[in-house]
Amino acid sequence: MADLPLDGRVAIVTGASGGIGAAIVARYTKAGARVAALDLARSLPAAPGGGMVMECDVTDDAAVARAVAAVMERFGRIDILVNNAAGPVLVGKVTEITAATWRQTLEINLTGAFLMCQSAIPHMAAGGGGVIVNVASQLGTVTTKGRAPYSASKAGLISFTRTLAVDHAEDGIRAVSLSPGAVMTSRLTTVMNGEAGVEEALGPKHALGRVGRPEEIAEAALFIASDGASFMTGSDMLVDGGYCAT
């Protein structure tokens, strides 16, 4: 997608050290954006070309406000916000999980996006508009056993995106959720005995017969943020290899 430049635009990407987040940071940087990569201190990535990195716990109101203020001080504008931070996928039936697990998952996956939007949107609007990309999941549209907190949080994120779109269209802001299927990241390979284990367990659940790659999700995130998607808002882009079609 070399014809979808982001030259001169400033993007914030949360959860920037993970497989999908790091791929989005790299792709946006390659497309010409200046990227502020946000994540927890223990997993901060190297600074992307022309960008910055910053520690940020997206569930902490004050930390979010400091991060957004730092981006504004460094770059003077915010054009793109990618809410990609996500908590661990803890498996268990509703009767088996704890209330703390439920709250933690929603705090990171949903409230974190809310706090980032709340801080960034005024700056985006003042600059003439922008794009919000909320990284959800195919499990926000369908579900599977033992994923109640995760599925609920991602479904909520998809719905939150629609409200953002209608609330802030007048500010020149587009909002789109991006829902990947299973993606080959360290989170999966760690619990499924490497890439072969991931493909064996999850590949057949997708119509294409394989899981996705972070770079494929990053290409979709690039399209959403680009002028090529200028008439796209309030929708959910499934990039799930046909998971929801099977």
**Active site residues per annotation:** 150
| Total residues belonging to the chain | 246
Report the distance separating Cα 68 and Cα 89, nearest Å. Answer: 27
Q: Measured on CA atoms in the order 101, 103, 106, 109, is the torsion positive or negative?
A: negative
Burial of 242 (0-12, 13-18, 19+ CB in 10 A): middle
CA distance 135 to 113: 9
Going across the sheet that includes 10-14, the strands are 52-55, 34-39, 10-14, 80-83, 130-135, 173-180, 236-239
Q: Decide if 161 contacts 175 (C-beta within 8 A).
A: yes
Residues ≥6 apart with Cβ < 8 Å to 12: 35, 36, 38, 67, 68, 71, 78, 80, 81, 82, 116, 120
What are the φ/ψ torsions at residue 86 (nearest 5 degrees)? Answer: -145, 145
Helix (H, G, I), strand (E, B) or coil at 142: coil
Q: What is the CA radius of gyration of the chain?
A: 17
